[in-house]
Chains A and B, each alone.
Chain A
């Protein structure tokens, strides 16, 4: 399975954010999307998720059945500030979600199994989501995306503010998901990207660029990425 971005451009007023991007992401990999603050990582995700209109560009998903335009249902978007229905308990949220999406044949686990997957204990399941910590809300957000089982998962700095235990759990979970998905993980923490991701893509000069690792060791690879980012004229 491949996600193809073709001639994507996006500007805000006079300011160009993304310019004529052509790039292909492949299944089975976690891509680390790196860029400096304001480089346009979130804009790229918003374009893919159809949250904002693009100036130009098309997105295609190619699998064993052929090449088709990317649809909203193909994407799971985990944003950095999790949005959850604050006045529902985690259990209610999940129950309603499963009931609403019962026609999705990829849903094959029970509520308890899903909670177990992200390590949410029984005592927390009956708590209001409003009373959840940021990290716990993030778990719920990721869980919902796992249940819906989209082909492409976009993660916009989801681990940045989590404690190290939850971060570790989430990393393991993402690694377990990559087999059948295309995962693009945006972050500005290079160490996290190097630790979790299989490939590093930088958003540089309004374009996406794969930073080849070749035979470099981690230190040299890191230096190469930093050099590429320094090269960028920061907006």
Chain B
């Protein structure tokens, strides 16, 4: 088992280093500097191995730190007067959620495919050694941050120790329960969406208990840990008895099509754009009276309902429910959040920039456009005619704006209701805040379509071939995040924000009209 782990790590490191060098070589500065021989340079690889190990440790520490920090911040938000108890409660509930969701043995990944299928590793040894590594890391990392946070939050050492242990036992029990379920029903339990939502809903609901001053008592934690110890031993015995891990992996891999094409990563991305069976037939009513590129565009958007209108409606529904919950909480006076909401809506409207960034479907829709349409259409010369390109761009832009507008309208409406309940906002505040949300939604739709037309970064395997696209995407994220932190009045922010956004959109659209016929092509 130790050898198996050693080999896995060796392959992982070699893979990561080569991928890093390969990316480096695609950048203009390094292109000439680094030749193909770089992959055989032992000295460079040795240095990068040390660096890679260091970065991996740093990444693990950072992620775990942010996990603890998130729990701390949530505790502060849910129950400012009893942060320590809430912290313990949230950690305990999150560990149970992890028990169901973390699925190290059954998830399919490229890494697993390489090890089990291509390298012909013993699947059982591979999976067991990886589980062991995850348990070991979990033990070390949780111990470190419990020591840190226990001092800071004045937590009981005994409870911290029990929670560290419970994290391990819960993981082992979870893995065996998941496999047991798979063997009985022939699918992973969370692929049953209603069951998944039910389990997640119940446990996420439990995380809100501190709002009504209920937290997990120490005795429950002690009892749970004691019960979980023998259960985890039974689970380990059960996991060790299973001998057909390779077969299970092959079946799952085939179902999830993680690696059935030349480029696995690309394929898993491509799977996202798959047209659903039910969307293949479009009703004649929808196509009536349409012809030419109008018809072409309608067919595309109708076939991609799953990632377009349906997904937009789902987002709108979820957002609507969130607003209903917040409004109900405010009206029922269970928690005193009126002041925070009022402050948020009147002075922190910048947060909606990052929210709109996350809910906008522009990025995925442009990828679907390329993979399911443009990647083949761009091989025809008539499709590259400036008139055709721009005509289609216009139609796509209108549809994209419409798709993204629905969740934005729900947010704008929700904000208006909240403003009317928790503040004495002026009409100008109502209007500017709603207008800003709508402008933001249009902005992101324009932005993603414009950068797609100006940079067209994808190749047929859906790999991003132009670093400029990744850089622009990163800048978009960083800018959205930074803007979110700005504290200023809603009126000022909305007006200035809207003007700047509109200027950007005008410039971007002019650029597309001037440059897209040259830039929108196959890589």
Contact = CB atoms under 8 A, between A and B. Distances in A.
Determine if chain A interacts with chain B: yes
Interface of A: 46, 49-53, 72, 81-89, 91-92, 96-97, 99-101, 126-128, 130-131, 137, 144, 148
B247 A96 contact: no
Contacts, number: 74
B37 A126 contact: yes
Interface string B236-254: 0000000000110011001
A128 B11 CA distance: 14
Contacts of B251: 50-53
Interface string B1-19: 0000001001100111011
Interface stretch (B217-225, B261-269, B359-367): B261-269
18 contacts: A50-B247, A51-B254, A52-B251, A81-B262, A82-B262, A83-B113, A83-B118, A83-B259, A83-B262, A86-B263, A87-B15, A87-B18, A99-B7, A100-B119, A100-B120, A128-B18, A128-B22, A128-B39
A97 B18 contact: no
Nearest to A73: B120
Contacts of A84: 118
Contacts of B118: 83-85, 97, 144
B264 A50 contact: no
Q: Which 4 A-B pairs have the closest CB atoms?
A: A126-B40, A87-B18, A87-B19, A87-B15
Nearest to B259: A83
Interface in B51-80: none
B120 to A, nearest CB: 6
A142 B358 CA distance: 44
A87 to B, nearest CB: 4
A97 B7 contact: no
Nearest to A84: B118
Nearest to A92: B14
Contacts of B15: 85, 87-88
Given A126-B39, A148-B120, 12 more contacts: A46-B254, A50-B247, A72-B247, A83-B113, A83-B262, A87-B19, A88-B14, A100-B7, A100-B121, A101-B120, A126-B40, A127-B39
A100 to B, nearest CB: 5
A127 B36 contact: yes
A88 B18 contact: yes
Contacts of A128: 18, 22, 39
Contacts of A83: 113, 117-118, 259, 261-262, 264
A5 B251 CA distance: 20
A144 B118 CA distance: 8
Contact of B254 (A52, A86, A100): A52
Nearest to A126: B40
